[in-house]
Amino acid sequence: MRFYLSIFIPLCFFFSNVVIADIDQSQFTVGQQKAAVCMTCHGADGISTIDTYPNLKNQKIQYMVAALKAYQEKQRTGGLAILMHAQADALSEQDMLDISYYFHYAK
């Protein structure tokens, strides 16, 4: 019995420290709607089926926002950046946040 308790109690402490993020469902839904155009190239779930397009699923929110701003400001020019310039030009900062939020939490 002591053996089981010596395993069980530490596991309780470990799992009590695991934090599950509360997802803002309304922002997730809005982001999903705004991301519809992104899904054409980057996949419905953020996993691209085309090798030249990056996956967006689980990407960090601030990284995606920074990347979209860089496309909008024409700071990213390599590869297929020309395609992203037009897409990013149409986005507000809130759009970028919503889309990034969706792809970050997409399952």
Provide the domain count of the chain: 1
Return the axis-axis angle of helices 81-89 and 61-72, rounded to nearest 10°: 90
Q: Is the pLDDT of residue 3 over 90?
A: no
CA terminus-to-terminus distance, the chain: 40
Is there a domain that residue 5 lies in?
A: no
The CA-based dihedral angle spanning residues 65, 34, 30, 78, taken in that order and rounded to the nearest 10 degrees: -20
pLDDT of residue 22: 87
Query: Does residue 60 sit within a domain?
Result: yes
Residue 20 in domain: no
pLDDT digits (tens, 9 = 90+) for 69-102: 999 999 999 999 999 999 999 999 999 999 999 9
The string of pLDDT tens digits covering residues 5-57 is 466 666 555 554 444 568 999 999 999 999 999 999 999 999 999 999 999 99
Distances in Å between the Cα of 39 and the Cα atoms of 42, 76, 81 are 5, 20, 16
pTM: 0.79
Which residues constitute the domain of residue 67?
25-105
Q: What does the DSSP 8-state code read for residue 84? A: H
